[in-house]
Amino acid sequence: MLFFSKLKDYQTIMPDLFKKDNSSIIRLVEGKGELLCLPNWLSEEEQRYYFSLLQRELAWKTEKLLIAGRQVLSPRLVAWYGNPGINYRYSSITHEALPWHQALLILKQKIKEQFAARINSVLGNFYRNGRDSMGWHADSEPELGKDPAIYSLSLGASRFFDYRRRDKSCSKQRIELQPGSLLIMQGSFQEYWLHQIPKQLRVEEPRINLTFRYIHNSGLGLSIRKETKKPV
Three-state SS annotation for 119-180: CCEEEEEEECCCCCCEEEECCCCHHHCCCCCEEEEEEECCEEEEEEECCEEEEEEEEEECCC
Residue 193: alpha-carbon gap to chain centroid: 14
Residue 96, H or E segment: strand 93-96
What pLDDT, on the 0 to 100 scale, is given for residue 64? 79
Label residues 83-96 b or e (16+ Cβ within 10 Å = b). eeebbbebeeeebe
Give 116-127 pLDDT, tens digit per residue: 999 999 999 999
* C-alpha dist (Å) from residue 222 to 121, 141, 152, 169: 11, 7, 18, 27
Q: State pTM to two decimals.
A: 0.85
Give dist(CA 80, CA 211) in Å, integer: 10
Alpha helices in the chain (DSSP H): 44-57, 102-115, 189-192
Q: What is the predicted pLDDT for the residue at 232?
A: 33
Q: What angle do CA 106, 222, 155 make, to 5 degrees?
A: 35
Instruction: Report the pLDDT value the prediction gives residue 140, as an integer from 0 to 100.
Output: 84
pLDDT at 29 over 80: yes
What is residue 225's predicted lDDT score, i.e. its pLDDT?
45
- For residues 52-78, one letter each, b for 16 or more C-beta atoms within 10 angstroms of the residue's C-beta and e for the rest, the string is eebeeebebeebebebeeeeeebbbbb
Report the pLDDT value the prediction gives residue 151, as an integer from 0 to 100: 98
Average pLDDT over residues 93-111: 92
Three-class SS state of 53: helix
DSSP strand pairing (182-186 vs 150-156): antiparallel
Mean pLDDT over each residue of the chain, to the nearest integer: 85
C-alpha span between 108 and 102 (Å, rounded): 10
Partnered with residue 46 across adjacent β-strands are none
